[in-house]
Structure 1
């Protein structure tokens, strides 16, 4: 029965990888359209890594694996809900605010004090936004902070 858990989870993750890769391919093409690295590059890379990892779960399941139906299982479900809400909030709230909320909530659930957790989320959101927007020239949605757009 324990082989079934990993294989079932592997199938779910393959479905997620395909859906994630397909969603990334739906991003609008930047002006000019001839860029090698576009906004879909990183999500496509993540989809491939997730797909390969999922195949590993199907081919080599852990014989001693069992579902964590204790507090750990509840925390995993909370993490999945937070990540789903994060994906839904990216466009309307923007990258910085949604990342602050998601990373802050996950840090808090892992035991950090709430203020430190959300400060960590805010720093992570701003730093990653600056890296993507300025260093990689890959724009991320500003959402509610769209008044900060230059030009």
Structure 2
């Protein structure tokens, strides 16, 4: 049952993401894709994942997978909400690392694994998006290290 709740929450969140991203437009068009593409892609992937979670028990009858407990679902949702709230203040790197730690714990990792994965994810994705793909990301409190924006 928790899978269906999480799936429905993902579908609602993806609809909200897609709706809010409709108005994204660059003041000066210097990128061929524009700022709307990434949130729309994420919303689409989130909707597909949500639909899969929502329909999976109905498609297979008794699910062979262990159901996600409601407590873990709420913790994951809270981690994502905190991520959104602290994104500008902490910056992409720290906010991503802060979100990845509780998510790693929810998915069964140890604290050491979750911390290592969170730090690696935050730093790797920052350099991938900001440096390799030239997507401007907020640096937040690490602006003195990362050449702040």
1:78 corresponds to: 75
- Distance of 1:74 and 1:100 partners within structure 2: 21
Counterpart pick for 1:138 among 135, 138, 147: 135
Distance 1:24 1:146, change over 3 A: farther
Query: What displacement does 1:144 show?
Result: 0.9
Equivalent runs, 1:9-28 vs 2, <5 Å: 12-27=9-24
The CA RMSD over aligned residues, in Å, is 3.3
Aligned CA distance change for structure 1 residues 127 and 48 (closer, same or farther; 3 Å) = same
The change in CA–CA distance for 1:53 and 1:74 in structure 2 (over 3 A counts) is: closer
Q: Tell me the equivalent position of 1:47.
A: 43
Number of aligned residue pairs: 143
Q: Which residues in structure 2 correspond to 1:90-101 (within 5 Å)?
A: 90-101=87-98
The answer to whether the 8 A contact 2:25-2:34 is kept is: no
- Give the direction of change, closer, same or farther, for the CA distance of 1:57–1:82 in structure 2 (3 Å limit): closer
Which one has the largest radius of gyration?
1
- 5+ unaligned residues in a row in structure 1: which ranges? none
CA distance in 1, matches of 2:68, 2:50: 25
With the length of structure 2 as denominator, give the TM-score of the two structures: 0.74
1:27–1:140 Cα change, 3 Å:
farther
- CA distance in 2 between counterparts of 1:51 and 1:36 reads 25
Label 1:102 to 1:150 Cα distance change in 2 as closer, same or farther (>3 A): closer
Deviation at 1:15, TM superposition (A): 2.9
- Residues 111/51 of structure 1: CA separation in 2 closer, same or farther (3 Å cut): closer
Tell me, in whole angstroms, the C-alpha distance in 1 between the residues paired with 2:108 and 2:48. Answer: 31
